[in-house]
Amino acid sequence: MTDNPNVPDLSFLDAEPAVGFHIKDLLYTLLRNMHWLLLFGTAGALIANFTVRKQDRVYESNARIVLRGNSGENDNSLREASINNMFSDRPFYNTSVNNEVMILTSKTTMLKTVENLHLNVAYSGNSKVVKRKKDLYGSSPVAVDFVDNNESDYVALTVTPVSAYGVEMEYGDYKPLHIHLGDTQATPFGRIVIRKTWFYTPECYNDPVTVIHTPSHVVADHYRHTISVNRDGESNTIVNISLRDLSARRAADVINELIRVYNEEAVKDKKRIIAYTYDYINERLSQLHLDLDEQESVIASFKRDNQLINLDNYGMSFLNTNNEYSQEVDKLRQRLSLAKYLMQLNESNEENSLLPPAIGIDDATIVSTMERYNELTMRLNQTSNTGNPVVHKLKEERMKAKADLGQLLAVYSSSLQKRISDAQSIVRRASGKMRQIPEQQLYLENVERLQKIKEELYLNLLSKREELLISQPSIEGNAKIIDEARVNESPVAPNVGRSTMLGLLLGLLLPIAIFLLRRMLDTKVRFQGDLKMRTTIPFLCEIPTRKRPDTRDIVVVDGKLDNLSEAFRLLRSKIDFLGRNGQHESDCRVFMITSLLPSSGKTFISSNIAACFAIAGKRVLLVDMDLRRGSLTHRFYSRRKAGLSDWIAGKTEKIDELIQHNVVTPELDTIFSGMLPPNPAELLSNGRVEQLLLELRKRYDYIFLDSAPLSVVDNTIIQPLVDSSLFVVRSGKYDKRVLNEMEEIYQAGGFPGMAVLLNDVTYKRSSPVDRLFGLDYGYGYGYGHHYSYAYNGYHYYQDNESDNESQK
């Protein structure tokens, strides 16, 4: 609902929201133009496929190696373990994996690879199926040797086999030369020799072979930049090597030869260092031999001067004697202590007590006496009759044994003291002898220690020299091959399938881009969506155009069921609601039909909508209010009679003389413009038009005024006299920016009951795509015809009749 109080509520006309361009609309447009998508997509795919098939094939070869070094890397070679241990501290063998990778891809290594494989001379021919260059590495029928060619020269020539013994050579603008195979031929760039290979067969006759000689350093730089060398991981020393080339065999050969050259150079370096080390060991052994001879002479002179044979044994004997007699003193003291203990025990022992065992006493007499004493004591303890003579005899024997034991222990103790004193004397003498060992012994030990160190070093160097001699024939390179580079005949580029799909995608995107660009650049109003998106003016309907021209101006005929007639019937139903504006149903309603620009189809709309109401049985009057052009009058008026200009000018006062019956269509009355006056604005403003309309309102149900465009002042004079204003916009004629001016007019509220309709809209025939999107809604009358109208103002589907018509 508008906020302007002078504008009636026409919200019932906006049943559908104003929408812009949605994804669904784009999808619908693409499906409607599926033939263009298929055409461009197929063309793009074919062009891409053809282009890709003419491109050179690129092949890839891969290899994996493990770098064996001495910087913590694992080395399973037992034959190299000795060398690696020998030189583990030398900086050459402490290289990191990254350094080895740099050596592997160095210019020196790659240049040697190029020279070994003769990669500075390339051979190519023409493919038989697709006209493109084909690399002939390893399969060329001829081989060219540049005898006098300078390495820095670039030479390109063509060799064509012509017979089993000769070829034809072309070089630049020079005259072709016929050269016998195997002969040395002088050329502008030096002498060459052309040899045939195993591929020289009659099938290759007349097939030219392009031979290009490139400086070796240029080829080496090319492969240094194209080869890829990467570590497999930071935790190991595995290296992946890959190379892409126009020849699958050459890619594998370059990788394998590069690894071989790298290992060969590493072996040479190791052998060179081994040779240097061998010379150094020999020199050192000679010096050590002289030092050992000198040391032995010093030792012999020292022993001879000091009259020493073996100082080690001499000192050791005194040491052993000292230790032996010191231990003997300790044992004798223990026995002496035990003897004294037994003496005290024997003296204080009671008659019935036993003596302890003589453990530690080495005197057999003492031991037997103690055993005799204990035996007699036990026998006495077992006898209870003390008066028995046997008992008395036993006591006497025990007393005698006790006295003998005391004497024996005293003698034994004296003997032990004597032995202890003798042993201590021997210990003192041995200690004195040890202190008397001369200081020359220390000097001799130092000299012998130095001699031993030099002997060990001498023997170690002898062992290392033998290891060098043994391991030299079995030295291996730093790179151990895990996966050797193999010939992969499947090209990695170009990808025919992917390129074809890309061409198909680009081919599909091209028409989509064209559709979107056309829509972006299209500034014309074409469908009701354009109106609803830029204005809030109530929209009535769309009037379709017709495919074939027709001389009839009135297309609405009673009983006709074509699309134009149905469109005007729809317009009639909406105008019937539009024109009331709070009036009673029996009141006459006046409609002004105008436009913002000329040639919008106002006359066509006004005449046909008036005819449509007349067919419905209404009292309808059609008035030509365009006093500047009189389009309605020029189109239908054929008799000279008074018109609107005559009434306004006061030339006639009879309204019936102005009204024409059944001229435009049956049951429709018309007032034509009459003579076109020079001053229409002044005539319209004299009040006569208002008097005329007041009288006509009493006679008719609907009055339609076919007025001039809004660019003249005539409509401003007429607008207070009408109930509703219908603005006609012609599809494809109005710029979308003009709609802003119409919106301003609507918001100003100067025209009562303002509404807009779209004229001359071009629609397309219904299709399965329309039914997929639900755009084929409509209604029928049971005659086999189906009428469908626009959905959001973008598409219209014609009926099944062949004589569809539209206004001009």
Identify the structural domains of the chain with CATH numbers, from first to last: 327-450 (no CATH), 529-764 (3.40.50.300)
Alpha-carbon gap, residue 683 to 718, rounded angstroms: 11
Distance set, CA 559 to CA 8, 355, 562, 807 (Å) = 34, 163, 9, 19
* SS3 (DSSP) at 125: strand
Alpha-carbon gap, residue 645 to 672, rounded angstroms: 9
For every residue of 172-226, which 3-state class applies, written as one string? Answer: CCCCCEEEECCCEEEECCEEEEEEECCCCCHHHCCCCEEEEECCHHHHHHHHHHH
371 HSE (CA, 13 A, CB side): 9
Report the range of poorest mean pLDDT among 220-234, 380-394, 515-529, 724-738: 380-394
Are 772 and 764 spatial neighbours (Cβ–Cβ below 8 Å)? no
Q: Which residues of 212-223 are buried (b: 16+ CB within 10 A; e: fewer)?
A: ebbbbeebbeeb
Confidence of residue 336 (pLDDT cuts 50, 70, 90): confident
Alpha-carbon gap, residue 588 to 482, rounded angstroms: 102
Residue 169 has pLDDT above 90, yes or no: yes
Mean pLDDT: which of 142-146, 428-432, 520-524, 664-668 is highest? 142-146
Distance set, CA 544 to CA 32, 567, 615, 805, 808 (Å) = 19, 7, 20, 8, 11
Write down the pLDDT at residue 371: 74
The residue with greater pLDDT, 20 or 687, is 687
Torsion, CA 147, CA 153, CA 158, CA 164, rounded to 10: 10
pLDDT tens readout for residues 616-659: 989 999 999 988 888 888 888 656 678 888 888 888 888 888 89
Sheet strand arrangement including 228-231: 228-231, 238-245, 59-67, 479-483
End-to-end Cα, the chain, rounded Å = 35
* SS3 (DSSP) at 339: helix
Confidence of residue 779 (pLDDT cuts 50, 70, 90): very low
**Cα-flanking dihedrals φ and ψ of residue 248, to 5°?**
-65, -40
Write down the pLDDT at residue 581: 55
Confidence of residue 537 (pLDDT cuts 50, 70, 90): very high
Write down the pLDDT at residue 71: 38
The one-letter amino acid at 183: D
pLDDT tens readout for residues 455-499: 889 899 898 888 888 887 778 888 999 999 999 999 998 888 899
The helix-helix angle for 34-53 and 23-32 (nearest 10°) equals: 80
Q: What percent of the chain has pLDDT over 70?
A: 80
Q: What is the mean pLDDT of the chain?
A: 80
DSSP string for 504-544: HHHHHHHHHHHHHHHHHH--B--SHHHHHHH--SPEEEEEE
H or E element that contains 228? strand 228-231
What's the whole-number mean pLDDT along residues 770-774? Answer: 56
- Asked if the peptide bond before residue 494 counts as cis, ω within 30 degrees of 0, the response is yes
Alpha-carbon gap, residue 544 to 564, rounded angstroms: 6
CB atoms within 10 A of CB 5: 7
Tell how strand 702-706 and strand 620-624 pair up.
Answer: parallel
Write down the pLDDT at residue 116: 95
Residue 392 has pLDDT above 80, yes or no: no
The two tokens of residue 274 are 């081994």
Q: Which residues of 741-759 are buried (b: 16+ CB within 10 A; e: fewer)?
A: ebeebbbeebbbbbbbbbb
The residue with greater pLDDT, 355 or 268, is 268
Alpha-carbon gap, residue 352 to 380, rounded angstroms: 8
Confidence of residue 564 (pLDDT cuts 50, 70, 90): confident
Alpha-carbon gap, residue 145 to 120, rounded angstroms: 11
Write down the pLDDT at residue 799: 36
**Cα-flanking dihedrals φ and ψ of residue 758, to 5°?**
-105, 125
pLDDT tens readout for residues 395-435: 777 777 777 777 877 887 888 888 888 888 877 777 765 66
Confidence of residue 309 (pLDDT cuts 50, 70, 90): low
The residue with greater pLDDT, 106 or 411, is 106
pTM: 0.56
Alpha-carbon gap, residue 329 to 420, rounded angstroms: 6
Alpha-carbon gap, residue 13 to 541, rounded angstroms: 9
Q: Which residues of 434-466 are buried (b: 16+ CB within 10 A; e: fewer)?
A: eeeeeeeeeebeeeeeebeebeeebeebeebbe
Residue 239 has pLDDT above 60, yes or no: yes
pLDDT tens readout for residues 62-88: 999 998 864 334 444 434 444 444 444
Are 156 and 174 spatial neighbours (Cβ–Cβ below 8 Å)? no
H or E element that contains 105? none
pLDDT tens readout for residues 433-453: 566 566 667 677 788 888 888
Write down the pLDDT at residue 646: 87
* SS3 (DSSP) at 400: helix
Alpha-carbon gap, residue 195 to 158, rounded angstroms: 14
The one-letter amino acid at 507: G
* SS3 (DSSP) at 51: helix
The two tokens of residue 230 are 């990467």
CB atoms within 10 A of CB 764: 13
Alpha-carbon gap, residue 644 to 652, rounded angstroms: 10
What's the whole-number mean pLDDT along residues 328-333? Answer: 78
Are 41 and 504 spatial neighbours (Cβ–Cβ below 8 Å)? yes
The one-letter amino acid at 702: Y
Residue 772 has pLDDT above 60, yes or no: no
Alpha-carbon gap, residue 746 to 738, rounded angstroms: 13
* SS3 (DSSP) at 295: helix
**C-alpha angle 101-484-142 in degrees, rounded to nearest 5:** 100
Are 63 and 518 spatial neighbours (Cβ–Cβ below 8 Å)? no
Q: What percent of the chain has pLDDT over 90?
A: 33
| Residue in 674, 629, 620 with CA at minimum distance from that of residue 652 | 674
CB atoms within 10 A of CB 716: 14
The two tokens of residue 674 are 């009459």
Tell how strand 754-761 and strand 724-730 pair up.
Answer: parallel
Write down the pLDDT at residue 477: 85
The residue with greater pLDDT, 348 or 93, is 348
Write down the pLDDT at residue 607: 92
Q: What is the DSSP letter of 49?
A: H
β strands within 699-782, DSSP E: 702-706, 724-730, 754-761, 778-779
H or E element that contains 154? none
